[in-house]
């Protein structure tokens, strides 16, 4: 009976260790994803131009870390952002107001 009890405990312990190993792997995966997102966020451009659904026409100029920029925004330099706002006629995002940040009055 004692040998049977020992096998049961060994089996349960092995299952618990496997479960804990899975939890550790899940936590490590989540932490790696969080670090990746943080690195991407820190690498955000200073200014961005959001493209329309057709991919060609510009919709808005954004400050680089604007949450309203969406997935169709492309990072640009300061000169390109100023040119888009002034010469290109692209409107400034109403949320982040890049025209104010760039010192351009509409």
Q: Could you tell me the residue range of the domain that residue 62 belongs to? A: 47-102
Nearest-CA neighbor of 73 among 48, 93, 52, 91?
A: 48
Tens-place pLDDT, residues 13-37? 999 999 999 999 999 999 999 999 8
User: How many domains does the chain fold into?
Assistant: 2
Residues 25, 69 share a domain: no
Tens-place pLDDT, residues 49-92? 999 888 778 889 999 888 888 788 888 988 999 999 888 889 99
Residues 56, 20 share a domain: no
Residues 51, 26 share a domain: no
């Amino acid at each position: 009976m004692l040998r049977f009890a020992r096998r049961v405990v060994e089996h349960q312990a092995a299952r618990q260790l496997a479960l804990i190993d899975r939890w550790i792997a899940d936590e490590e995966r989540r932490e790696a994803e969080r670090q990746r997102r943080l690195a991407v966020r820190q690498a955000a451009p200073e200014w961005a131009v959001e493209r329309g659904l057709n991919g060609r026409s510009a919709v808005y100029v954004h400050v680089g870390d604007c949450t309203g920029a969406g997935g169709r925004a492309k990072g640009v330099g300061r000169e390109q952002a100023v040119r888009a706002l002034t010469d290109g006629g692209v409107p400034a995002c109403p949320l982040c107001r890049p025209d104010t940040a760039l010192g351009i009055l509409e």
